Structure formats: C-alpha cells, structure tokens
Amino acid sequence: MKLTVCFIGVVQAAGKMPTRDRVKYVRRRLRHEYEVAREETDPERTAFLLRVAETQLETVEVQAEHLSSILSSPDYHRM
C-alpha cells in the first residue's frame, strides 16, 4: 500500500516539473527503479527500498517546486 502511494506520488510530482523532458525523465527513472525492485522478497531490503522511495518522493516534490519557481522568474530569461 505504501509503495503504491509513493509510486503515484512521484508520478504526480513529476507532472509538476516545468518541462516535458523533466517530466519524462523522472517518470522513466521511476519505472526503471520499480521494475528493478519488483521481485524483491527480502523484508529488510523492501523496507529499505520503501524508505528510499519516500525520500525520492520528497526530493521530486522539492525539485519540481524549485525548478518551476526558477523558470518562472523573469530574471531567468535575461541570462
């Protein structure tokens, strides 16, 4: 259940990235990491991967907000 929430959260957070390329990149990485860990059965390893997923979700949310604010700044386009 928690993994599904993290997965959906990252997909949604990726959608808030400021460019299509970034959205695609984050979603592609998410899918790759999910497929790599999909068959994991070791409880310690799955607990670790869940913590990593939660951290990645927070990171993507912060990055999406930060990059969107930078790209929306009028000063960004003057460079």
* pLDDT tens digits along 13-72: 999 999 999 999 999 999 999 999 889 999 999 999 999 999 999 999 999 999 988 888
**Confidence (pTM):** 0.80
Predicted pLDDT at 47: 93
pLDDT of the residue at 3: 79
Q: What DSSP state is assigned to residue 71?
A: H
The whole-angstrom separation of Cα 75 and Cα 62 is 21
| Domains held by the chain: number | 1
Tell me what pLDDT residue 74 has. Answer: 75
Q: Which domain holds residue 38?
A: 2-78
For residue 32, the Cα-to-chain-centroid distance in whole angstroms is 12
